[in-house]
Amino acid sequence: MGKNKKHSGKWNFKRVAIIAVCVLVVIGAVGGFVYYRTTFKSNIFVPGDSHKYLLIYKGDSFEDVVAKLQASGTVKNMSSFVRTAKNNGYPKNVVPGRYELEDGMSNYVLVHRLINGRQTPLRITFNNIRTKEVLAQRLSKQLMMDSVEMVNALNNDTLLAKYGLTSPTTVALFIPDTYELYWDITPEKLMDRMKQEYDKFWTEDRLLKLNEVGLSQLEVSTLASIVDEETNKKDEKPMIAGLYLNRLNKGMPLQADPTVKFAVHDFSLRRIYNGHLDTDSPYNTYKHIGLPPGPIRIPSTEGIDAVLNYVDHDYIYMCAREDRSGYHNFAATYDEHIKNASKYRNSLNRRGVQ
């Protein structure tokens, strides 16, 4: 009888142990399942073909990130994201940047994308920009940088010396095109990137043509900016470039109306009067012989190539055509030019253009 009791006690112990193990297994399985659902299951919803981005600024806290995710309306279960983020130490590793929230993304993928700063670059296009201030404003609307911070960099001669530039020539560094950039790029890093693109643009072929033109790279960009302001007709730009090169080679003032508009800070002028021509500015090419101190806008690639591939002719005068076509009449003598100018002025008067 004593033996049976002893045997029964052992059996009860084993049974309790087995039950306990089973319970632990079930608990572990449930915990693992919950962990899987919390960590690896899809938790981001982005409808259709739309794109959603999380913008994290310098100084943003983990709480700020959570608030932005809530506001985005893309997170199905915010508490599960918070748990995953905390389990992976994200609250202490918030990295600024622009992150794409992709449909079907799990908490694990999102958290590790944020921790590692794996941003989605954006495509920035800039063209038809006249001033540094406009350039800075355009960039600040698409990037994290402040426009004032960018303008200060564009006028910082100590920084610009790194690129062989001065504040009047800064805009020559920006070759119009579309670039992939990270949203949190700094002004200096942006200029580093633009210098790389600038050097790529100036191919061996373009550098060889500099000798034929007789100008430096920056001087070509300055002349190209004037050509761009004179016309948007691609086929006429090499003609205009040839005319201004003739004037430079003869030691004549360029007398380019766009430089006067730049000098008086009014690009809306449709007619240039004597009062404008008296403006005391190194950019006023009616008063100063040679090229202005720097480009009067970001020159286009078409403008630069027009200067490098200028048309060799004898023209030293030009005037907009009276037919409003956007093209110009060219002249080799002053008498011819006066006739062309008279026809153009009469057309303006007939239309009441002031």
Helix (H) or strand (E) holding 79: helix 78-87
Query: Which of 345, 320, 183, 347 shows the shortest CA–CA distance to 256?
Result: 320
With beta carbons less than 8 A apart as the criterion, state whether 162 and 154 touch. Answer: no
Chain CA centroid to CA 246, Å: 35
Query: Which of 140, 239, 134, 144 shows the shortest CA–CA distance to 185?
Result: 144
Structure tokens at 202: 């100036």
Pairing of strands 122-126, 177-181: antiparallel
Query: Which of 191, 195, 284, 303 shows the shortest CA–CA distance to 240?
Result: 303
Q: What secondary structure does DSSP assign to 137-202, as a single string?
A: HHHHHHSSS-HHHHHHHHT-HHHHGGGT--GGGGGGG---EEEEE-TT--HHHHHHHHHHHHHHHS
Complete domains list, the chain, with CATH = 19-120 (3.30.1490.480), 122-201 (no CATH), 204-313 (no CATH)
The per-residue pLDDT string of the chain (354 residues; one tens digit each, 9 = 90 and over) reads: 555 555 565 555 566 555 544 444 444 444 444 444 556 689 999 988 889 999 999 999 999 999 999 999 999 999 999 999 999 999 999 999 999 999 999 999 999 999 999 999 999 998 889 999 999 999 999 999 999 999 999 999 999 999 999 999 999 999 999 999 999 999 999 999 999 999 999 999 999 999 899 999 999 999 999 999 999 999 999 999 999 999 999 999 999 999 999 999 888 888 788 888 889 999 999 999 999 999 999 999 999 999 999 999 999 999 999 888 889 999 999 999 999 999 988 888 877 776
Burial level of 233, CB count in 10 A (0-12/13-18/19+)? middle
Structure tokens at 121: 């670059």
What pLDDT, on the 0 to 100 scale, is given for residue 35? 46
With beta carbons less than 8 A apart as the criterion, state whether 180 and 121 touch. Answer: yes
Structure tokens at 38: 């919390």
Neighbours of 87 (CB within 10 A): 14
